[in-house]
Structure 1
Amino acid sequence: MSNKNIWYLPGPFHQYQEDVKALAKANGLRIVDASVTESREDAADEVPGVTVKEVPKVLLIDGGSSSVDIDAFRAELEAVGLIVESFADQALIRPEGELGPIADRLFQVFEAVNAGVESLIRERDGEVEKVKALQLQVDDLLQQVEKAGQVDAEAKEVADLKAKLDEAKVPYRANASKESLEKLVADLTKA
Protein backbone atom coordinates (compact mmCIF):
# COMPACT_ATOMS: atom_id res chain seq x y z
CA MET A 1 0.00 0.00 0.00
CA SER A 2 1.48 3.35 -1.04
CA ASN A 3 1.41 6.43 1.14
CA LYS A 4 -0.03 9.10 -1.20
CA ASN A 5 0.25 12.14 1.02
CA ILE A 6 1.98 14.76 -1.14
CA TRP A 7 0.06 17.90 -2.09
CA TYR A 8 1.60 19.41 -5.22
CA LEU A 9 0.69 23.08 -5.00
CA PRO A 10 2.19 25.86 -7.13
CA GLY A 11 4.00 28.43 -4.99
CA PRO A 12 4.42 30.96 -3.62
CA PHE A 13 2.11 29.84 -0.85
CA HIS A 14 1.28 33.33 0.44
CA GLN A 15 -0.78 33.89 -2.74
CA TYR A 16 -3.61 31.76 -1.36
CA GLN A 17 -6.44 33.10 0.80
CA GLU A 18 -6.34 30.00 3.00
CA ASP A 19 -3.51 29.01 5.32
CA VAL A 20 -2.23 26.15 3.15
CA LYS A 21 0.25 24.96 5.77
CA ALA A 22 -2.48 24.55 8.36
CA LEU A 23 -4.72 22.78 5.80
CA ALA A 24 -1.90 20.41 4.90
CA LYS A 25 -1.22 19.61 8.54
CA ALA A 26 -4.90 19.05 9.28
CA ASN A 27 -5.21 16.64 6.33
CA GLY A 28 -1.91 14.83 6.97
CA LEU A 29 -0.36 16.13 3.75
CA ARG A 30 3.10 17.35 2.83
CA ILE A 31 3.27 20.36 0.49
CA VAL A 32 5.67 20.30 -2.46
CA ASP A 33 5.97 23.32 -4.75
CA ALA A 34 4.54 22.10 -8.05
CA SER A 35 6.31 24.82 -10.01
CA VAL A 36 9.77 23.45 -9.17
CA THR A 37 9.23 19.74 -9.75
CA GLU A 38 7.77 17.81 -12.64
CA SER A 39 7.31 14.63 -10.64
CA ARG A 40 3.86 13.89 -9.27
CA GLU A 41 4.90 10.74 -7.46
CA ASP A 42 2.79 9.89 -4.39
CA ALA A 43 0.35 12.73 -5.14
CA ALA A 44 -2.60 12.71 -2.75
CA ASP A 45 -5.95 11.83 -4.35
CA GLU A 46 -7.94 14.24 -2.20
CA VAL A 47 -6.58 17.70 -1.42
CA PRO A 48 -8.31 20.74 0.07
CA GLY A 49 -9.60 23.41 -2.30
CA VAL A 50 -7.79 26.74 -2.17
CA THR A 51 -8.35 30.10 -3.83
CA VAL A 52 -5.81 32.63 -5.00
CA LYS A 53 -5.98 36.05 -3.34
CA GLU A 54 -7.23 38.80 -5.57
CA VAL A 55 -4.50 41.35 -6.14
CA PRO A 56 -5.73 44.87 -5.44
CA LYS A 57 -5.53 47.14 -8.45
CA VAL A 58 -3.66 50.40 -8.08
CA LEU A 59 -5.09 53.31 -9.97
CA LEU A 60 -2.80 56.09 -11.12
CA ILE A 61 -5.62 58.44 -12.02
CA ASP A 62 -8.72 58.95 -9.92
CA GLY A 63 -11.15 60.63 -12.30
CA GLY A 64 -10.21 64.26 -12.78
CA SER A 65 -9.38 65.02 -9.16
CA SER A 66 -5.83 63.63 -9.29
CA SER A 67 -2.92 65.95 -8.70
CA VAL A 68 -0.94 63.97 -11.29
CA ASP A 69 -0.45 65.90 -14.54
CA ILE A 70 -1.01 63.33 -17.28
CA ASP A 71 -0.04 65.79 -20.01
CA ALA A 72 3.31 66.37 -18.30
CA PHE A 73 3.84 62.58 -18.05
CA ARG A 74 3.02 62.17 -21.73
CA ALA A 75 5.29 65.06 -22.74
CA GLU A 76 8.17 63.65 -20.70
CA LEU A 77 7.59 60.16 -22.05
CA GLU A 78 7.61 61.56 -25.59
CA ALA A 79 10.83 63.48 -24.86
CA VAL A 80 12.43 60.33 -23.44
CA GLY A 81 11.37 58.43 -26.58
CA LEU A 82 12.89 61.10 -28.85
CA ILE A 83 16.13 61.14 -26.86
CA VAL A 84 16.44 57.35 -26.92
CA GLU A 85 15.70 57.15 -30.65
CA SER A 86 18.22 59.89 -31.49
CA PHE A 87 20.82 58.14 -29.34
CA ALA A 88 20.10 54.82 -31.05
CA ASP A 89 20.58 56.56 -34.42
CA GLN A 90 23.97 57.82 -33.13
CA ALA A 91 22.87 61.44 -33.54
CA LEU A 92 21.84 62.63 -30.05
CA ILE A 93 19.34 65.48 -30.39
CA ARG A 94 17.84 67.48 -27.52
CA PRO A 95 14.06 67.79 -27.98
CA GLU A 96 12.55 71.26 -28.30
CA GLY A 97 11.14 72.93 -25.21
CA GLU A 98 11.48 72.32 -21.50
CA LEU A 99 12.46 68.79 -20.50
CA GLY A 100 11.18 67.08 -17.39
CA PRO A 101 13.68 65.88 -14.79
CA ILE A 102 13.85 62.31 -16.11
CA ALA A 103 14.25 63.31 -19.76
CA ASP A 104 16.82 65.96 -18.83
CA ARG A 105 18.87 63.49 -16.78
CA LEU A 106 18.66 60.88 -19.53
CA PHE A 107 19.91 63.44 -22.05
CA GLN A 108 22.82 64.35 -19.74
CA VAL A 109 23.77 60.69 -19.33
CA PHE A 110 23.65 60.06 -23.09
CA GLU A 111 25.73 63.20 -23.70
CA ALA A 112 28.35 61.87 -21.28
CA VAL A 113 28.29 58.48 -22.99
CA ASN A 114 28.72 60.13 -26.41
CA ALA A 115 31.61 62.25 -25.12
CA GLY A 116 33.28 59.14 -23.71
CA VAL A 117 32.83 57.23 -26.95
CA GLU A 118 34.19 60.14 -29.01
CA SER A 119 37.20 60.35 -26.69
CA LEU A 120 37.83 56.63 -27.12
CA ILE A 121 37.53 56.96 -30.91
CA ARG A 122 40.08 59.80 -30.96
CA GLU A 123 42.42 57.82 -28.72
CA ARG A 124 42.04 54.73 -30.90
CA ASP A 125 42.74 56.73 -34.07
CA GLY A 126 45.87 58.20 -32.45
CA GLU A 127 47.05 54.71 -31.55
CA VAL A 128 46.39 53.53 -35.12
CA GLU A 129 48.64 56.33 -36.41
CA LYS A 130 51.35 55.30 -33.93
CA VAL A 131 51.06 51.70 -35.13
CA LYS A 132 51.42 52.80 -38.76
CA ALA A 133 54.52 54.88 -37.92
CA LEU A 134 56.04 52.01 -35.95
CA GLN A 135 55.33 49.56 -38.78
CA LEU A 136 57.16 51.87 -41.21
CA GLN A 137 60.13 51.94 -38.82
CA VAL A 138 60.08 48.15 -38.51
CA ASP A 139 59.95 47.74 -42.29
CA ASP A 140 62.87 50.18 -42.69
CA LEU A 141 64.90 48.35 -40.04
CA LEU A 142 64.18 45.00 -41.71
CA GLN A 143 65.44 46.40 -45.02
CA GLN A 144 68.57 47.71 -43.32
CA VAL A 145 69.20 44.32 -41.72
CA GLU A 146 68.69 42.60 -45.06
CA LYS A 147 71.10 45.01 -46.79
CA ALA A 148 73.63 44.61 -43.99
CA GLY A 149 73.35 40.84 -44.33
CA GLN A 150 73.95 41.10 -48.07
CA VAL A 151 76.94 43.42 -47.53
CA ASP A 152 78.34 41.04 -44.90
CA ALA A 153 77.90 38.06 -47.22
CA GLU A 154 79.58 39.93 -50.07
CA ALA A 155 82.41 41.09 -47.77
CA LYS A 156 82.94 37.46 -46.68
CA GLU A 157 83.07 36.32 -50.31
CA VAL A 158 85.60 39.06 -51.15
CA ALA A 159 87.71 38.07 -48.11
CA ASP A 160 87.62 34.40 -49.24
CA LEU A 161 88.69 35.38 -52.76
CA LYS A 162 91.54 37.52 -51.40
CA ALA A 163 92.65 34.65 -49.14
CA LYS A 164 92.82 32.31 -52.16
CA LEU A 165 94.83 34.89 -54.13
CA ASP A 166 97.16 35.51 -51.16
CA GLU A 167 97.72 31.78 -50.81
CA ALA A 168 98.62 31.54 -54.49
CA LYS A 169 100.78 34.70 -54.12
CA VAL A 170 98.85 36.49 -56.88
CA PRO A 171 99.01 40.29 -56.65
CA TYR A 172 95.73 42.27 -56.72
CA ARG A 173 94.63 45.80 -55.98
CA ALA A 174 93.47 46.43 -52.40
CA ASN A 175 90.25 48.03 -53.61
CA ALA A 176 89.62 45.52 -56.39
CA SER A 177 86.00 44.71 -57.15
CA LYS A 178 84.50 41.35 -56.39
CA GLU A 179 84.18 40.62 -60.13
CA SER A 180 87.89 41.30 -60.81
CA LEU A 181 88.88 39.10 -57.85
CA GLU A 182 86.59 36.32 -59.13
CA LYS A 183 88.26 36.61 -62.55
CA LEU A 184 91.74 36.30 -61.00
CA VAL A 185 90.67 33.23 -58.99
CA ALA A 186 89.14 31.70 -62.12
CA ASP A 187 92.42 32.29 -63.98
CA LEU A 188 94.23 30.48 -61.12
CA THR A 189 92.19 27.33 -61.60
CA LYS A 190 92.87 27.39 -65.38
CA ALA A 191 96.63 27.63 -64.90
Structure 2
Amino acid sequence: MSNKIWYLPGPFHRYQEDVKVLAREAGLRIIDANVTAIRDDAAEDVPTVTVKTVARSEPESPLVVVTGQASLDQKELIGKLQAESAAIRVLIESAEGLTPLEHPEAGELPIRLFDALSGIHQGIAGIKAERDSLSTENESLRGEVTSLKAAASKPADDSAEIEALKAALDAAKVSYRANASKEALEKLVAELSKE
Protein backbone atom coordinates (compact mmCIF):
# COMPACT_ATOMS: atom_id res chain seq x y z
CA MET A 1 0.00 0.00 0.00
CA SER A 2 1.06 3.51 -0.63
CA ASN A 3 1.22 6.17 2.05
CA LYS A 4 -1.89 8.12 1.02
CA ILE A 5 -3.76 8.49 4.37
CA TRP A 6 -3.87 11.80 6.19
CA TYR A 7 -4.59 11.26 9.89
CA LEU A 8 -6.10 14.56 11.02
CA PRO A 9 -7.84 15.14 14.38
CA GLY A 10 -11.50 16.05 13.86
CA PRO A 11 -13.88 17.69 13.70
CA PHE A 12 -12.77 18.98 10.33
CA HIS A 13 -14.87 22.14 10.40
CA ARG A 14 -12.61 23.59 13.11
CA TYR A 15 -9.85 24.28 10.58
CA GLN A 16 -9.60 27.54 8.67
CA GLU A 17 -8.81 25.68 5.45
CA ASP A 18 -11.17 23.35 3.60
CA VAL A 19 -9.33 20.14 4.47
CA LYS A 20 -11.38 18.02 2.06
CA VAL A 21 -10.29 20.14 -0.89
CA LEU A 22 -6.67 20.06 0.31
CA ALA A 23 -6.80 16.26 0.63
CA ARG A 24 -8.30 15.87 -2.85
CA GLU A 25 -5.63 18.15 -4.38
CA ALA A 26 -2.83 16.21 -2.62
CA GLY A 27 -4.38 12.82 -3.52
CA LEU A 28 -4.88 11.91 0.14
CA ARG A 29 -7.67 10.24 2.05
CA ILE A 30 -8.58 11.82 5.45
CA ILE A 31 -9.20 9.69 8.54
CA ASP A 32 -10.08 11.22 11.90
CA ALA A 33 -7.03 10.68 14.11
CA ASN A 34 -9.28 10.70 17.22
CA VAL A 35 -11.00 7.44 16.26
CA THR A 36 -8.01 5.24 15.46
CA ALA A 37 -4.76 4.61 17.25
CA ILE A 38 -3.16 2.80 14.30
CA ARG A 39 -1.24 4.97 11.86
CA ASP A 40 -0.57 2.47 9.05
CA ASP A 41 -0.01 4.01 5.64
CA ALA A 42 0.24 7.53 7.05
CA ALA A 43 1.32 10.10 4.47
CA GLU A 44 4.48 11.96 5.29
CA ASP A 45 3.89 15.05 3.16
CA VAL A 46 0.53 16.48 4.33
CA PRO A 47 -0.84 19.99 3.93
CA THR A 48 -0.43 22.45 6.79
CA VAL A 49 -3.67 23.54 8.43
CA THR A 50 -4.57 26.02 11.15
CA VAL A 51 -7.30 25.78 13.76
CA LYS A 52 -9.90 28.55 13.78
CA THR A 53 -9.75 30.83 16.77
CA VAL A 54 -13.10 31.52 18.35
CA ALA A 55 -13.58 34.60 20.48
CA ARG A 56 -15.52 33.52 23.53
CA SER A 57 -17.14 35.94 25.94
CA GLU A 58 -17.28 33.34 28.71
CA PRO A 59 -15.01 30.43 29.47
CA GLU A 60 -16.11 26.99 28.43
CA SER A 61 -17.51 24.90 31.22
CA PRO A 62 -15.65 21.66 31.81
CA LEU A 63 -17.30 18.54 30.45
CA VAL A 64 -17.39 15.22 32.20
CA VAL A 65 -16.73 12.44 29.71
CA VAL A 66 -17.82 9.02 30.84
CA THR A 67 -16.76 6.01 28.87
CA GLY A 68 -18.06 2.46 29.19
CA GLN A 69 -15.06 1.73 31.40
CA ALA A 70 -15.84 4.40 34.01
CA SER A 71 -14.07 3.89 37.31
CA LEU A 72 -15.96 3.32 40.54
CA ASP A 73 -15.16 6.88 41.69
CA GLN A 74 -16.68 8.33 38.51
CA LYS A 75 -19.83 6.25 38.91
CA GLU A 76 -20.13 7.32 42.54
CA LEU A 77 -19.64 10.98 41.56
CA ILE A 78 -22.25 10.70 38.82
CA GLY A 79 -24.67 9.11 41.29
CA LYS A 80 -24.10 11.95 43.76
CA LEU A 81 -24.58 14.57 41.06
CA GLN A 82 -27.81 12.93 39.92
CA ALA A 83 -29.08 12.81 43.51
CA GLU A 84 -28.21 16.50 44.03
CA SER A 85 -29.92 17.38 40.77
CA ALA A 86 -33.08 15.54 41.82
CA ALA A 87 -33.05 17.22 45.25
CA ILE A 88 -32.63 20.67 43.68
CA ARG A 89 -35.54 19.96 41.33
CA VAL A 90 -37.74 19.08 44.33
CA LEU A 91 -36.70 22.32 46.07
CA ILE A 92 -37.51 24.33 42.95
CA GLU A 93 -40.96 22.73 42.82
CA SER A 94 -41.38 23.69 46.50
CA ALA A 95 -40.41 27.28 45.74
CA GLU A 96 -42.97 27.31 42.93
CA GLY A 97 -45.61 26.13 45.40
CA LEU A 98 -46.11 22.74 43.76
CA THR A 99 -44.91 20.66 46.73
CA PRO A 100 -44.30 21.31 50.45
CA LEU A 101 -40.81 22.43 51.45
CA GLU A 102 -38.87 19.48 52.94
CA HIS A 103 -35.25 19.18 54.05
CA PRO A 104 -33.13 17.28 51.49
CA GLU A 105 -31.39 14.14 52.70
CA ALA A 106 -27.96 14.90 51.25
CA GLY A 107 -25.92 17.16 49.03
CA GLU A 108 -24.23 20.44 49.87
CA LEU A 109 -26.03 22.52 47.24
CA PRO A 110 -29.56 21.23 47.98
CA ILE A 111 -29.04 21.78 51.72
CA ARG A 112 -27.76 25.33 51.13
CA LEU A 113 -30.72 26.02 48.82
CA PHE A 114 -33.11 24.59 51.44
CA ASP A 115 -31.60 26.85 54.14
CA ALA A 116 -31.97 29.90 51.88
CA LEU A 117 -35.57 29.02 50.98
CA SER A 118 -36.39 28.36 54.66
CA GLY A 119 -35.03 31.78 55.61
CA ILE A 120 -37.09 33.43 52.88
CA HIS A 121 -40.18 31.47 53.96
CA GLN A 122 -39.73 32.52 57.61
CA GLY A 123 -39.24 36.14 56.57
CA ILE A 124 -42.42 36.10 54.49
CA ALA A 125 -44.36 34.44 57.34
CA GLY A 126 -43.14 37.18 59.72
CA ILE A 127 -44.16 39.88 57.26
CA LYS A 128 -47.63 38.32 56.88
CA ALA A 129 -48.09 38.15 60.68
CA GLU A 130 -47.03 41.79 61.03
CA ARG A 131 -49.37 42.78 58.20
CA ASP A 132 -52.30 41.00 59.87
CA SER A 133 -51.50 42.65 63.22
CA LEU A 134 -51.31 46.09 61.62
CA SER A 135 -54.56 45.45 59.74
CA THR A 136 -56.36 44.61 63.00
CA GLU A 137 -54.91 47.70 64.70
CA ASN A 138 -55.89 49.81 61.69
CA GLU A 139 -59.52 48.63 61.88
CA SER A 140 -59.60 49.35 65.63
CA LEU A 141 -58.25 52.88 65.10
CA ARG A 142 -60.74 53.52 62.30
CA GLY A 143 -63.56 52.55 64.69
CA GLU A 144 -62.25 54.94 67.35
CA VAL A 145 -61.94 57.78 64.84
CA THR A 146 -65.52 57.17 63.66
CA SER A 147 -66.84 57.26 67.23
CA LEU A 148 -64.86 60.42 68.03
CA LYS A 149 -66.18 62.13 64.91
CA ALA A 150 -69.73 61.19 65.87
CA ALA A 151 -69.22 62.53 69.42
CA ALA A 152 -67.69 65.77 68.13
CA SER A 153 -70.53 66.38 65.70
CA LYS A 154 -73.23 66.09 68.43
CA PRO A 155 -74.52 69.47 69.61
CA ALA A 156 -74.02 70.14 73.30
CA ASP A 157 -77.25 69.00 74.94
CA ASP A 158 -76.33 70.81 78.15
CA SER A 159 -76.34 74.28 76.58
CA ALA A 160 -80.13 74.71 76.94
CA GLU A 161 -80.03 73.65 80.60
CA ILE A 162 -77.07 75.97 81.32
CA GLU A 163 -78.91 78.91 79.77
CA ALA A 164 -82.00 78.17 81.91
CA LEU A 165 -79.86 78.02 85.08
CA LYS A 166 -78.16 81.32 84.19
CA ALA A 167 -81.57 82.96 83.55
CA ALA A 168 -82.81 81.81 86.99
CA LEU A 169 -79.69 83.22 88.66
CA ASP A 170 -80.01 86.51 86.72
CA ALA A 171 -83.65 86.84 87.81
CA ALA A 172 -82.61 86.34 91.44
CA LYS A 173 -79.78 88.82 90.90
CA VAL A 174 -77.13 86.29 91.98
CA SER A 175 -73.67 86.78 90.53
CA TYR A 176 -71.80 83.84 88.96
CA ARG A 177 -68.78 83.33 86.79
CA ALA A 178 -69.42 83.50 83.04
CA ASN A 179 -67.58 80.23 82.41
CA ALA A 180 -69.01 78.38 85.41
CA SER A 181 -69.74 74.70 84.95
CA LYS A 182 -73.23 73.25 84.87
CA GLU A 183 -72.66 71.65 88.28
CA ALA A 184 -71.62 74.98 89.85
CA LEU A 185 -74.69 76.73 88.41
CA GLU A 186 -76.97 73.93 89.69
CA LYS A 187 -75.45 74.35 93.16
CA LEU A 188 -76.15 78.10 93.13
CA VAL A 189 -79.76 77.55 92.00
CA ALA A 190 -80.22 74.92 94.73
CA GLU A 191 -79.07 77.47 97.34
CA LEU A 192 -81.66 79.95 96.01
CA SER A 193 -84.47 77.55 96.76
CA LYS A 194 -83.25 77.14 100.36
CA GLU A 195 -83.56 80.85 101.06
Structure with the greater alpha carbon radius of gyration: 2
TM range (shorter): 0.3 to 0.5
TM-score (norm 1): 0.47
TM-score (norm 2): 0.46
